[in-house]
Amino acid sequence: MRIGARRLDGIPPTIFTRMSALAVRTGAVNLGQGFPDVDGPPEVIARAVAALEQGHNQYAPGPGVPALRQAVARHQQRHYGIELDPDTQVVVTTGCTEGIAAALLGLVDPGDEVVVLEPYYDSYTAMIQFAGGVRRPVTLRSPDFRLDADDLRAAVTPRTRLILLNSPHNPTGTVLGQDELAAVAAVAREHDLVVVTDEVYEHLTYDGHQHVPIATLPGMAERTLTLSSAGKSYSFTGWKVGWATGPAELVGALLAAKQWLTFTSGAPLQPAVAAALDEHPDFPHQLGASLRRRRDQLCAGLAEAGLPPYLPEGTYFALTDVAGLGWHSSLDFCLALPDRAGVVAVPAEVFYDDPDSPGAGRTLVRWAFCKEGPVIEEGLRRLREADLTA
């Protein structure tokens, strides 16, 4: 008897589940999955508790509660000068993850090609496949992980439907600069493509690198669907409250798919996230400052442990290459690491179509620094004391 549908063929369980389960089973320090170990503002949690007690316990409207849609519109205005109609140009999603799913299901037909940055966040590949799309990866190659405009142009064909962007980029930490964004915008305009852009790390950038939404470039507002969420910006990854913004037609296509996925979710959490955006606008910036210190702590410690990192410009991840320690596969390294050192990290090789192509990441390992300083220190101590060679 055939059990799984063909649309699941070749899609492995998400690596994050696998590595976090390994961390729990072995008692290892989890520097793998990207969730913080300190929650967001207590006042925002109090708002969620109040919403629960005050009867926000039934279905929220499908597009999201008006207070949150309005707060998202104000957020985009305040940070980027983007003007949005909260009634037609903002939809609340169940985390950015549902935004990705609904965007791809709502916009991609079977056989359509989707140009996607590689290494990719693994839900992109799963959802492109669910939609019947064909992925066309453009590799951000080591050592500098920049977007090559020629590679981008070469990936576009007459079948291309959309470009799926992610900046600040997980797992490389690249924050796309003006030139790179301009190249994407030029290709999108020239080929009349939609851009779907995952900006969940929009506020987590370092050393003067600024996140610029591609929707702000000339001619892009009308063809860009922007996705984000409260998970990373406010350290509420478990709440799964996200949003999609853009022109009414694109937001409408996403909503048309989203209504059949969850219809709606998080009724008591939505007003709390609205309060977070409106009343704690500086929180993400402060989080970013604290993350920069932890980035430096992690990166200095990794270098000491014989794992020199690529310094990320944004996100809360750093990559190291374990080839120098004699490894031929980051997966082998990460599977051995809990026993060798009592630490869990994420193998980046699973985020490539061909991890052995030039500049790709067969031996790249991703480390998360969204953990408390003492946790990072303990992980580093264990790495320093372990034999990490192959």
Ligand X SMILES: Cc1ncc(COP(=O)(O)O)c(C=O)c1O
Q: Indicate whether 342 belongs to the interface with ligand X (CB under 6 A).
A: no
Q: Which is it for strands 364-368 and 317-321: parallel, antiparallel or unpaired?
A: antiparallel
CB of 96 to ligand X, least distance (A): 4
CB of 240 to ligand X, least distance (A): 6
- Spatial contact of 206 and 313, defined as CB atoms under 8 Å apart: yes
CB of 381 to ligand X, least distance (A): 26
- Among the candidate windows 23-31, 66-74, 235-243, 354-362, which touches ligand X by CB under 6 A? 235-243
- How far apart are alpha carbons 309 and 21 in whole angstroms? 25
Amino acid at 24: V
CB of 46 to ligand X, least distance (A): 22
Per-residue contact track with ligand X, 187 to 226, x per CB under 6 A?
-----------x-x--------------------------
CB of 348 to ligand X, least distance (A): 13
DSSP state, 314? Answer: B
State the sign of the Cα–Cα–Cα–Cα dihedral 272, 273, 276, 279: negative
- How far apart are alpha carbons 87 and 95 in whole angstroms? 19
Interface residue with ligand X, options 119, 213, 231, 355 (CB under 6 A): 231
Q: Indicate whether 97 belongs to the interface with ligand X (CB under 6 A).
A: yes
Q: Indicate whether 119 belongs to the interface with ligand X (CB under 6 A).
A: no
Q: Indicate whether 237 belongs to the interface with ligand X (CB under 6 A).
A: yes
Residues 140-179 that bind ligand X (CB under 6 A): 166, 170
CB atoms within 10 A of CB 38: 10
- How far apart are alpha carbons 281 and 211 in whole angstroms? 16
Q: Which of 116, 113, 104 is nearest to 140 (CA)?
A: 116
CB of 118 to ligand X, least distance (A): 13
- Spatial contact of 32 and 368, defined as CB atoms under 8 Å apart: yes
Q: Indicate whether 96 belongs to the interface with ligand X (CB under 6 A).
A: yes
DSSP state, 12? Answer: P
CB of 40 to ligand X, least distance (A): 13
- For residue 239, give every residue at least 6 positions away whose Cβ sits within 8 Å of its Cβ, in sequence order, or none: 48, 230, 231, 266, 269, 273
Interface residue with ligand X, options 36, 41, 64, 242 (CB under 6 A): 242
Residues 361-380 that bind ligand X (CB under 6 A): none
Q: Which residues bind ligand X (CB under 6 A)?
A: 34, 95-97, 121, 166, 170, 198, 200, 229, 231, 237, 240, 242
